[in-house]
Structure 1
Amino acid sequence: MPVKTRLSGRLARRFTLGVAIAAAVPAVLVAALIVLPFSTRTFWLLAVFAREYSLLGALAALAATAAAVVALRLGARRAGAMTAAVAALCLVATLVPVVTAHHDARRLGVPLSYADYFQRPATTADRGPDATVTYARIGGTELLLDVWRPRSPAEKLGPAVVFVHGGSWTKGRRSMTPRWNEWLTEHGATVFDIDYRLAPPATWTQAPGDVRCAVGWVRRNAVRYGVDAGRIALMGMSAGGHLALLAAYTSGDTVGENAFPPSCETGDTSVSAVVSLYGPYDLAYSYDLAVPWWAAKWLSDGEGRGMVLDFIGGSPEKERAAYKTASPITYLRADVPPTLSIQGGHDQIEYPDDGRRAARLAHEAGASHRYVEIGYAGHAFDLAWGGFGAQMARAEIGDFLRHTIRTG
């Protein structure tokens, strides 16, 4: 074989092998975030986006596999075979969320859009709130809400959504996920995205009353904002989902009314529907679910259990009565407002067992309750606004609100 031919073959082999390795690196990173458990808050957020946008990792893995096979045929036997094997494994790992998403979408009857796949996260929006209003002053604390109005207001009074942000009861602020507010206004709802008092110190006796106070404020000012007081829904995510459920379920319940009175002078605080995105129903049950060894310090001392401790002021062993009183499941009964609960099946912060158990109890009680589990999704999956999980959640929420508070 001529020297020039051998040289060109060697260069081609090295080039294709380099391409394979370069493509395999991002594929390995995405696959690792999908497969391996996370041990810190940063890795949790990265894992959320890796699962929701795993198709990008799959494309990289496919390119790496193809290039490695070419390198193998060009003579890079050991390196080519090893790279091809790793890339093929990554391809399988990154396709699992995509395949699972399509399975769940077929089960739910929701069409998935690849055209909508690549969108900015839910923490961004094309607009801001129309107004910021003080809805209560408690001691030296001023509680604010952002008003998001539809761009094309209806001639008649329309529906409203009181939105409660997440943040494990210790952090977060109103309108921290503005894309949800923007989307809800696009469907004809006026959105009131509220602040509430955060822990520490323990605010389990205060935050639910703040949410009820906000609902009462919206009802009192309904006509002013073009809202039908009989068409108000509560919606929240994570800790906000818990508070939304608690405020909705305790209104009209004698025990709940006494435990969590509105934190301001107000009248009726009832709502027509409630939506919870991965919010806990039973705080003690969720606390007692096994914390995996790889995340023990993070979930026990920082996030997760640590924030429940800040919210309640102690562990279930010491504050069992408080945990029961502060759990929406305590007030679950036949006449609670129609409820939609959406949960990620791979949520390692708020385990799906809690939501599944609540769904069973709601069915037994005869409550109007729909539980939707998105199998591959993790906690806060909807931050990836274009991801398949967020697409399914929007379809479910849109259908639910159309039937309960008659949004557009």
Structure 2
Amino acid sequence: MPRPTYCSGFLKTLLLAGALWSSAAVAQQPAAQRDTSFTVHSAYTKAKVQHPYISIARPPVPATIRSQTNLTYCTENGRALQLDVFYPKSKRRQRFPGVLLVHGGGWRSGDRSQHVPMAQQLAARGFVAVTAEYRLSPEAPYPAAVQDLKTALRWLRAHARPYALDTSRVAVWGFSAGGQLAALVGTTNHDPLYEAGACFRSRSSSVQAIVDVDGILAFLHPESGEGDDSKSLSAATQWFGSNKLTRPELWQQGSALSHLSPNTPPTLFINSGVARMHAGRDDMMRQLTGLHIYTELHYFPEAPHPFPLFHPWFTPTLDYTVSFLNKVFPQP
């Protein structure tokens, strides 16, 4: 499929500038280092300054769900990758659609516990909801995170029976960097670049719907704010392991907008008022519409970037997600 037209001149400029910029600026971080800069509490403390009415979303755990936590879905180089599963209690012979939830944190921080409340509420609405960890940039650069998430999807299908999962109806949902990853996972169904490791390779990692909550769609885009290394290495530069001037083709490869095709699944965008967090969204929606693929947008112009973690936006985000998935997933 031809690349978006806005990229051609922009890429030439980047390639020319890249010849003058040394890749030696990209530093390697120790593999054991854990970045804890993004937490629910730190995001709340920052957001509350301008939004004093917010509160952290911690709804009661629904009595209608079950959970299994700290399950290892794959071991990579001796590293156990884990996930948690939340699913409906049901005595009927019924199968439920699945949702893989992907946390944010600039590809270098954050953890899967941040979306446990959302996963629990999705389970109460009739979904098998999984929160999975993935290797962050201090541990492994792109494309490891994408490969890990696809492995988690294969694990989910391999373990469909205990959770009554309908393997033909699986979505990926992500916030911030997790939204970017969710969109990339969903637009690269069957792409061998992102299928790695030996775990559950006989199973499919394809998804049938994407929910991108304030995640960037194109790194090399006029709306993007990623890749400013003037003061320190940006989160995206750390994730790609190279700056955008030196390896622009890698940054384009990691953009969901570069992978659209007639096989892209229906996509929901839920956004804050921070425009750079959804760079490329409008281009993606136009292309999806041109491909006759259903897409939907909901927008909270007054909301800070980490809005799905807080009231008053948590419940509308949940409602928009459930409504969209019920709309695009065929009913059994």
Larger radius of gyration: 1
Task: Pick the TM interval, shorter chain.
Answer: 0.7 to 0.9
In structure 2, C-alpha distance between the alignment counterparts of 1:147 and 1:286, rounded to whole Å:
39
**Alignment partner for residue 333 of structure 1, among 261, 264, 281?**
261
In structure 1, C-alpha distance between the alignment counterparts of 2:187 and 2:92, rounded to whole Å:
30
Matches within 5 A, 1:7-406: 45-46=44-45, 48-49=47-48, 54=53, 121-122=56-57, 126=61, 129-152=67-90, 154-252=92-190, 257-265=191-199, 266=201, 267-285=203-221, 288-289=224-225, 301=231, 306-345=234-273, 347=274, 350-384=276-310, 386-387=311-312, 389-405=313-329
In structure 2, C-alpha distance between the alignment counterparts of 1:210 and 1:251, rounded to whole Å:
14
* Contact kept? 1:124, 1:178, Cα under 8 Å: no
Q: CA deviation at 1:124?
A: 6.7
* Contact kept? 1:143, 1:196, Cα under 8 Å: yes
| Secondary structure, aligned partner of 1:155 | coil
Aligned length: 289
- Percent of aligned positions that are identical: 24
In structure 1, C-alpha distance between the alignment counterparts of 2:91 and 2:104, rounded to whole Å:
28
Bigger proportion of residues as strand: 2
* Contact kept? 2:101, 2:129, Cα under 8 Å: yes
1:301 to 1:391, Cα distance in 2 relative to 1, 3 A:
farther
1:351 to 1:271, Cα distance in 2 relative to 1, 3 A:
closer
- Structure 2 stretches lacking a partner, 5+ long: 1-36
In structure 1, C-alpha distance between the alignment counterparts of 2:164 and 2:304, rounded to whole Å:
37
- Structure 1 stretches lacking a partner, 5+ long: 1-39, 55-117
CA displacement, residues 86-110 of structure 1 (integer Å, 9 cap, x when unaligned): xxxxxxxxxxxxxxxxxxxxxxxxx
Q: CA deviation at 1:201?
A: 4.9
* Contact kept? 1:356, 1:371, Cα under 8 Å: no
| Secondary structure, aligned partner of 2:326 | helix
CA displacement, residues 250-301 of structure 1 (integer Å, 9 cap, x when unaligned): 113xxxx13212433422111121111111111222785499xxxx8xx965
In structure 2, C-alpha distance between the alignment counterparts of 1:51 and 1:206, rounded to whole Å:
36
| Secondary structure, aligned partner of 1:375 | coil
* Contact kept? 1:184, 1:191, Cα under 8 Å: yes
1:288 to 1:361, Cα distance in 2 relative to 1, 3 A:
same
In structure 2, C-alpha distance between the alignment counterparts of 1:136 and 1:301, rounded to whole Å:
37
Q: CA deviation at 1:207?
A: 0.9
* Contact kept? 2:180, 2:215, Cα under 8 Å: yes
1:153 to 1:238, Cα distance in 2 relative to 1, 3 A:
farther
Q: CA deviation at 1:139?
A: 0.9
* Contact kept? 1:333, 1:367, Cα under 8 Å: no
* Contact kept? 1:123, 1:178, Cα under 8 Å: no
Q: Which one-letter code corresponds to 1:338 in the other structure?
A: P
1:43 to 1:234, Cα distance in 2 relative to 1, 3 A:
closer
In structure 2, C-alpha distance between the alignment counterparts of 1:47 and 1:212, rounded to whole Å:
32
Bigger proportion of residues as helix: 1
Q: CA deviation at 1:132?
A: 2.4
* Contact kept? 2:223, 2:280, Cα under 8 Å: no
CA displacement, residues 37-64 of structure 1 (integer Å, 9 cap, x when unaligned): xxx989974453455555xxxxxxxxxx
1:147 to 1:353, Cα distance in 2 relative to 1, 3 A:
closer
In structure 2, C-alpha distance between the alignment counterparts of 1:288 and 1:371, rounded to whole Å:
19
| Secondary structure, aligned partner of 1:247 | helix
Moved more, 171-180 or 282-291: 282-291
Q: CA RMSD in A?
A: 3.0
Q: CA deviation at 1:407?
A: 8.5
* Contact kept? 1:49, 1:381, Cα under 8 Å: no
In structure 2, C-alpha distance between the alignment counterparts of 1:330 and 1:241, rounded to whole Å:
16
| Secondary structure, aligned partner of 1:362 | helix
* Contact kept? 1:146, 1:194, Cα under 8 Å: yes
* Contact kept? 2:95, 2:166, Cα under 8 Å: yes
In structure 2, C-alpha distance between the alignment counterparts of 1:285 and 1:399, rounded to whole Å:
30
| Secondary structure, aligned partner of 2:211 | strand
1:154 to 1:131, Cα distance in 2 relative to 1, 3 A:
farther
1:397 to 1:290, Cα distance in 2 relative to 1, 3 A:
closer
Q: Which one-letter code corresponds to 2:250 in the other structure?
A: A
* Contact kept? 2:134, 2:148, Cα under 8 Å: yes
